[in-house]
Structure 1
Amino acid sequence: MILRFVAAILLVYAFGFLGFAVTLPQPLAGEPTDAVIVPTGGPGRIARGLDIVDRGLAKELFVSGVDPEVTTEEFAAEFDVSSRTMDCCVTLGRLAVDTRSNAGEAAEWLKEHDFSSVRLVTTDWHMARAANEFSGALPEGTVIEKDAVVSSPELATLFLEYNKLIAAAVSQGLPV
């Protein structure tokens, strides 16, 4: 009886992982939002966020988790951002150190602005957990559009992220 129960749990886990791995989200089409939120940590995220602002699909970009030692000028030079765009449209958050604190930092930023919709830009394998964290932290009523940066993750990355997703969901009491 216990062996069957353990086998059933393992089967559910394995099918859940398979579903997670084969249904990674894709980039969002050209739907506009008020703002873009990009947690640091993966290649292509910041470039995608800047492109969205440049194309007029969002008014402002908030980059969460920027190293406190990186100056605004260094950031602008690294990502080839004009001073006009930096001044009007880019805010660097420097307090976050993980996905949960990225969500909290972004929530504080959103409370200071009158935005009702945001585009969350993160790597495809990170989107499920990030969206869960952000939906729990952002002001009530904020619409979150998921805009994934496509990657080619290794199996180990997917496995680790799936386990983090389960752990985060369990700790928040969310469905996986």
Structure 2
Amino acid sequence: MIGRVLAALVLVWAFGFLWFAGALPQPVGEVETDAVVVPTGGAGRIDRGLEVLRDKQAPQMLVTGVDPEVTPDEFAAEFNVPTRLMRCCVTLGYAAVDTRGNAAETTLWVVDQEVSRLRLVTTDWHMRRAAAELEASLPPSVTVVRDAVPSEPTFGALFLEYNKLLASVAARLWPV
């Protein structure tokens, strides 16, 4: 009996992983939002967030999880952000060190900025967990638009992220 239950669980896990890896989230295209949030950590994320700003699809951007040693001038130079755009529209958040911290930092900023429609820009393999953490943290009145940055993740990265997603869901369902 226990062997069958374990076998069933392994099958569910395996089919879930196949779905997770085979159906990665996609870019959203041109959609207007009140703001865009970009967690640091993956190639192309910040560039995509800045593209959203430059195309006027959102008037402001939070970059969450920025290394405390990175100054706004260094950030602007690294990503070729004009001073005018940096001053008016880009906020660097230094409080977060992980995905859950990104969600907490973003929630404080969203409430302060009175954002009701937020675009989340992150890597395709990271989108599901980042969005789940963010949506669990935000007020229910805030809509999250998912804008995935395409990547070519390794099997190991997908395996790790899938299990992190499962752990994140389990932690919300059965808090300790």
Match of 2:97, as an amino acid?
V
- Cα drift, residue 146 of structure 1: 0.3
- Cα drift, residue 31 of structure 1: 1.0
- Are 1:124 and 2:124 matched, yes or no? yes
Give the match for residue 65 of structure 1: 65
Q: Secondary structure at the match of 1:4?
A: helix
- Cα drift, residue 140 of structure 1: 2.3
- Cα drift, residue 124 of structure 1: 0.2
Q: Secondary structure at the match of 1:49?
A: helix
Q: Secondary structure at the match of 1:20?
A: helix
- Matched residues in 2 for 1:136 and 1:3: separation? 35
- Matched residues in 1 for 2:13 and 2:114: separation? 41
Give the match for residue 30 of structure 1: 30
Q: For residues 49-88 of structure 1, what are the structure 2 equivalents within 5 Å?
A: 49-88=49-88
Give the match for residue 158 of structure 2: 158
Q: Secondary structure at the match of 2:145?
A: strand
**Gap runs ≥5 in structure 2:** none
Number of positions where the alignment pairs a residue of Structure 1 with one of Structure 2? 174
Structure 1 outlier segments of 4+, above 4 Å: none
Q: Is the 8 A contact 1:110 1:139 kept in 2?
A: no
- Cα drift, residue 29 of structure 1: 1.3
Give the match for residue 134 of structure 1: 134
- Matched residues in 1 for 2:123 and 2:169: separation? 19
Match of 2:112, as an amino acid?
E
- Cα drift, residue 138 of structure 1: 1.4
- Are 1:98 and 2:98 matched, yes or no? yes
**Gap runs ≥5 in structure 1:** none
- Cα drift, residue 111 of structure 1: 1.3
Match of 1:84, as an amino acid?
R
Give the match for residue 42 of structure 2: 42
Match of 1:15, as an amino acid?
F
- For the aligned residues, what is the CA RMSD? 0.8
Give the match for residue 9 of structure 1: 9
TM-score between the two structures when normalised by the length of structure 1: 0.97
Give the match for residue 18 of structure 1: 18
- Cα drift, residue 139 of structure 1: 2.2
